[in-house]
Amino acid sequence: MATTNLTVMVGAQSSPPHLQLLLPYAAGHVKVKLQGAPTTTYRIQTSALLSNDWSNFSTNTTDAGGLFQIEDTNSPVRRFYRAVAQ
């Protein structure tokens, strides 16, 4: 009778990215922090309305801790943000 050892590697189920809007620090300037999966590329999209008119704003890759931060230097009074994994 033969015996075989088998190792199965299962990747961790990553949770959806979490965006945090940091308080505006100057008129029209907003910082957005993303926490997601480590070393993953995300598209940050913006919209004036919560509808299907999303535009690409920035594409960034998280660091080993799953974080990155961006600055929107031309933010209108109201703008929505979302993150989409590449």
Nearest-5° Cα angle at 17, 21 to 27: 15
Predicted confidence at residue 21, as pLDDT, reads: 79
Question: What is the domain range of residue 29?
Answer: 18-85
Predicted confidence at residue 3, as pLDDT, reads: 55
Task: Tell the burial category of 39 from Cβ atoms under 10 Å away from its Cβ (0-12, 13-18, 19+).
Answer: exposed
Which CATH number does the domain housing residue 50 bear? 2.60.40
Assess contact for 33 and 63: CB atoms under 8 A.
no
Q: Is residue 41 part of a domain?
A: yes
pTM, 2 dp: 0.75
Q: What is d(CA 2, CA 69) in angstroms, rounded to the nearest whole number?
A: 54
pLDDT by residue for the chain (86 residues), tens only, comes to 555 555 555 555 566 888 887 776 677 788 899 999 999 999 999 998 888 889 999 999 999 999 999 999 888 878 889 999 98
Q: Measuring CA to CA, which residue among 82, 33, 73 is closest to residue 55?
A: 82
Q: Is residue 10 part of a domain?
A: no
